[in-house]
């Protein structure tokens, strides 16, 4: 199987068991120390409710539909964060995770594919901003791209073998960011510019058509013609790459970014029969099988860590890149699949931006604990850097390592900026910016210039708009949001008729 690798030096620094690790990176120091391995298990389009482990305060029918015993295991052995957030669509989340930058700052505010074409439609008289449609790059000269140090580059610099397996979707076709090895990964398996697989089926060569050069999953020719499923194949590849790093005496950063559970809803024959037998519609049976396949993959990773006696020495993160798909492609009524959350992928509402999140590091991060600190994906880079002893400084993300290690930590406002229409339509799927501060979330919709205000702790379904009842809070939160957008030099949609658009 094609892989790209290069040698990275070993690191020095000593991790203290009860304190934040040292940030020393001096390779000439006498004490040669060990750093924990890092696994980021990143699922595509997995909703907050798509698991048998409840991330709500109570179980729901969705939790009883899905079977994810390994996510349950991870939560029992680690800490579950119930208020974790992402961008409403994929590439912005991935760029924020890798750079610690807010979407408003990096301006990759929609999903990427081609250098010369926009992926966001223009509707209702609103024109798109000139966002960075080429995505993330390592070359400042790349047009319409952002160039910033990545988490992979930072960890590689302190001695990690950095491995990407699965979906990359960082940069447009033909740009440096389309190849993860340009972004700090020593190993890239199956990552390229496209954000979905043409097919999950190896018997089809992971493509829909023989001449598919855009969406076909690359680099897995060894499996072509077999009866293997993409999720399982990627797990094989991830474990092989991690095993090679261990054999070489390297700490590893494994970014296992599954294409699942993104469409197409191909049947994973290992599991789909169980859900058909329960009477689920064919799309929902296939979707549930995709979820179960992802959980099976997580279980294989956790079991491998146990077998290699690495579990106590490995940080494992499980999360998703945006809210669950609900506007199209699913069985049943649209915009209901993330209930009790409102709407789904692409939306400003909780169904579009709230994601499951769990983290395990035995003897450092408490087991079987629930954390209600609100966090978002750009916070993950500084947090992991803090935990492993790398420099945690980033433009926007806030490390929540102290909270994970049982120390006091105050919450900070979370910001969202998606000045686009998405391909599908539905509740909240329109250009917006938002801020969550404490229990309150203010959404500013640019079509019409209107504010909505919700208490997303007491009203997780965002059924009761408080904007008319609490004008002082609307004013306060608009100011906080406005200051963030100014500080990050955010871009905004404009009106086709030339009239000015109302901003927060």
Profile the chain (504 residues) by mean pLDDT over runs of 10 residues: 32 29 35 83 98 97 97 98 98 98 98 98 97 98 98 98 98 98 98 98 94 94 98 98 97 98 98 98 98 98 98 98 98 97 98 98 98 98 98 96 96 98 97 98 98 98 98 98 98 96 96
pLDDT for residue 7 = 28
Residue with tokens 């097919």: 199
Q: For the packed helices 90-99 and 380-388, what is the interaxial angle rounded to 10 degrees?
A: 30
pLDDT for residue 10 = 23
Contact 36, 153 (CB under 8 A): no
Q: Which domains does the chain have, with CATH numbers?
A: 37-414 (3.40.720.10)
The model's pTM is: 0.94
CA atoms within 13 A of residue 135's CA, in its CB half-sphere? 35
pLDDT for residue 400 = 98
CA dist 26 and 29 (Å) reads 6
| Residue 407 neighbours by CB under 8 Å, 6+ apart | none
Q: How are beta strands 135-137 and 450-455 bridged, if at all?
A: unpaired
pLDDT for residue 210 = 84
CA dist 36 and 499 (Å) reads 55
pLDDT for residue 364 = 98
């Amino acid at each position: 199987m094609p892989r790209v690798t290069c040698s990275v030096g070993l690191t020095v620094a000593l991790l203290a068991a009860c304190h934040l690790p040292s940030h020393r990176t001096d390779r000439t120091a006498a004490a040669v120390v060990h750093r924990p391995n890092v696994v980021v298990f990143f699922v595509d389009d997995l909703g907050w409710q798509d698991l048998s482990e409840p991330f709500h305060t109570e179980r729901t029918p969705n939790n009883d539909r899905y079977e994810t015993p390994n996510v349950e295991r991870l939560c029992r052995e680690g800490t579950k964060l119930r208020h974790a957030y992402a961008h409403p669509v994929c590439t912005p989340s991935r760029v924020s995770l890798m750079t610690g930058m807010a979407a408003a700052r990096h301006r990759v505010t929609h999903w990427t594919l081609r250098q010369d074409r926009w992926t966001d439609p223009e509707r209702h008289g609103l024109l798109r901003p000139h966002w960075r449609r080429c995505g993330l790059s390592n070359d400042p000269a790349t047009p319409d791209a952002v160039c910033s140090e990545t988490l992979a580059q930072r960890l590689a610099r302190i001695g990690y073998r950095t491995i990407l397996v699965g979906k990359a979707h960082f940069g447009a076709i033909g740009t440096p960011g389309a190849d993860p090895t340009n972004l700090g990964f020593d190993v890239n398996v199956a990552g390229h510019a496209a954000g979905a697989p043409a097919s999950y089926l190896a018997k089809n060569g992971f493509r829909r058509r023989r001449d598919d050069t855009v969406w076909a999953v690359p680099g897995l020719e060894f499996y072509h013609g077999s009866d293997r499923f993409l999720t399982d194949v990627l797990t094989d590849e991830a474990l092989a790459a991690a095993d090679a790093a261990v054999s070489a005496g390297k700490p590893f950063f494994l970014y296992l970014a599954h294409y699942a559970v993104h469409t197409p809803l191909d049947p994973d024959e290992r599991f789909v029969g169980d859900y058909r037998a329960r009477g689920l519609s064919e799309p929902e049976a296939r979707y549930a099988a995709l979820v179960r396949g992802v959980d099976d993959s997580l279980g294989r990773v956790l079991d491998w860590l146990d077998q290699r006696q690495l579990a106590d020495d490995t940080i494992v993160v499980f999360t998703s890149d945006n809210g669950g798909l609900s506007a199209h492609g699913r069985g049943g009524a649209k915009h209901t699949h993330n209930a009790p959350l409102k709407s789904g992928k692409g939306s400003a509402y909780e169904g579009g931006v709230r994601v499951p999140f769990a983290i395990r590091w035995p003897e450092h991060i408490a087991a079987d604990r629930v954390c209600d600190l609100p966090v978002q994906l750009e916070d993950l880079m500084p947090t992991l850097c803090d935990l492993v002893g790398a420099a945690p400084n980033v433009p926007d993300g806030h490390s929540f390592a102290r909270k994970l290690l049982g120390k006091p930590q105050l919450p900070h406002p979370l910001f969202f900026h998606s000045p686009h229409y998405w391909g599908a339509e539905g509740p909240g799927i329109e250009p917006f910016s938002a801020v969550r501060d404490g229990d309150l979330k203010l959404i500013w919709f640019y079509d019409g210039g209107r504010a909505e205000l919700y208490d997303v702790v007491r009203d997780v379904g965002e059924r009761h708009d408080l904007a008319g009842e609490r004008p002082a809070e609307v004013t306060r939160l608009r100011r906080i949001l406005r200051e963030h957008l100014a500080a990050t030099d955010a871009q905004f949609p404009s009106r086709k008729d030339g009239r000015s658009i109302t901003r927060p």
